[in-house]
Amino acid sequence: MSQELAEKIALVTGASRGIGKACATALAQRGATIVLNYVSNQDAAKVAKTELEAFGAKVLIVQGDVSIEDEARALVAAAENEFGQVDILVNNAGVNRDKTVQRLTGDAWREVIDTNLSSCFYTTNAVLDGMRERSFGRIIQISSIIGQMGNIGQSNYAASKAGMIAFTKSTAKEVARFGITVNAVCPGFVETDMVAALPDEIKQSLLSNIPLGRFGTAEEVGETVAFLCGPNGGWYTGSQLTMNGGQYM
């Protein structure tokens, strides 16, 4: 295993499973200390902690709902209190509440926007002072192909993920002079629990629109995040890294 991220403290939101867990794993495999955030599934968080510790990583579990500003800021404070700093922030926490615009409720709109988008502001704002002082930081939003191309029944989700991309670009311009990079990773359809639960006919329909003919993996997303945080990723900032098998170009 590489130690290219040794002595770096990485905070990953929504990291108890799926893409978040894969991001935490890829960073841990490169020597980073991990602050693993979860909102409700404590058992999954404990399993993830044990798996990451098998790589020799130090791991702190912190429960918190990052859609709530006070809890998001408390998460960053807990990481800084335990380890002194946050060098890498991966904003992965997200939900979807799919309905057509006509049927969408205000509560479903706000829940998705607050969880997916507002949380990025809360955590990023909270880590920037320390990153500026150290003249180093890596901030990554896990956005989505849906934020690039839109999708029926996902206006709230698409708006939140597109907002993450715009937030990334603006923040990147503001903080580049302090040695901080800000990027967005935009996966297409990835083999997660949500995709696995889809009926076979829906899966085949999705695959027919992917030129490479397969879904992505959470590990591929995690490796992309780790690259951006490593020594060869330092010239990327304000970027949206599109990884979707060619479904959207």
Q: Where are the chain's structural domains?
A: 9-239
Q: With contact defined as beta carbons under 8 Å apart, do 125 and 104 qualify?
A: no
CA neighbours within 13 Å on the CB side: how many for 154?
17
pLDDT at 1: 72
Active site residue 157: yes
φ/ψ of 90, rounded to 5, equals -115, 110
Q: With contact defined as beta carbons under 8 Å apart, do 207 and 164 qualify?
A: no
Could you tell me the two tokens for 159?
């708006």
Mean pLDDT of 214-224: 98
Q: Is the pLDDT of residue 116 over 90?
A: yes
Average pLDDT over the chain, rounded to an integer: 97
Could you tell me the two tokens for 63?
């429960």
Closest Cα to residue 14, out of 94, 78, 119, 88?
94
Q: What is residue 235's three-state secondary structure?
A: coil
pLDDT at 92: 98
pLDDT at 77: 98
Q: Which fold would CATH assign to domain 9-239?
A: Rossmann fold (3.40.50)
Mean pLDDT of 22-50: 98
Segment 164-206, tens digit of pLDDT: 999 999 999 999 999 999 999 999 999 988 788 889 999 999 9
Give the residue with greater pLDDT, 195 vs 162: 162
pLDDT at 193: 81
C-alpha span between 223 and 23 (Å, rounded)? 7
Return all residues near 159 (Cβ < 8 A) that are at least 6 apart.
113, 117
Segment 95-112, tens digit of pLDDT: 999 999 999 999 999 999
φ/ψ of 78, rounded to 5, equals -65, -40
pLDDT at 2: 84
State the catalytic residue, choosing from 38, 122, 157, 248: 157
